[in-house]
Amino acid sequence: MELLVASAVGLMTAVGVYLLLQRRTFPIIIGLTLLSYAVNVFLFSAGRLVVNLPPIISDAGAYTDPLPQALVLTAIVISFGMTALIVVLALRSFLETENDNADIPGEDLAPEAEADR
């Protein structure tokens, strides 16, 4: 079980970083979302992956740690707000420039093209 969760976190992180390095804004937004999902799964797995145990201390002594669950819930709310803000900024940028590239305009011009300007 731990190997599966660790592989999922690693794969989501790798795909998220790859998408962050793209030039268009939509893959960047998806990459940030995948990175936040990877962090959420990592935080959730930090509290021991235990099935059918209550998140409170009982007389039996076996329980699931509730702190990572609370951290994941908070992280979900924060990542939703962050994603909404980034989508609005990307939409505003697209509407103003009619281009959805995330690079700086004129940054990747060849030296010959810069000399002609």
The number of domains in the chain is 1
Query: Residue 41 domain-assigned?
Result: yes
CATH number at residue 11: 1.10.287
**Position 115 confidence tier, pLDDT thresholds 50, 70, 90:** low
Q: Is residue 109 part of a domain?
A: no
94-113 pLDDT, tens digit per residue, is: 898 888 887 766 666 555 55
Report, in this order, helix, strand and coil percent for the chain, each rounded to 5.
Answer: 65, 0, 30
- The residue range of the domain holding 6 is 2-102
Digit-coded pLDDT (tens) for 2-32: 889 899 999 999 999 999 998 888 999 999 9
60 lies in some domain: yes
The 8 Å CB, 24+ separation contacts for 36-40 are 36/75, 36/79, 36/82, 36/83, 37/12, 38/9, 38/12, 38/13, 39/75, 40/72, 40/75, 40/76, 40/79
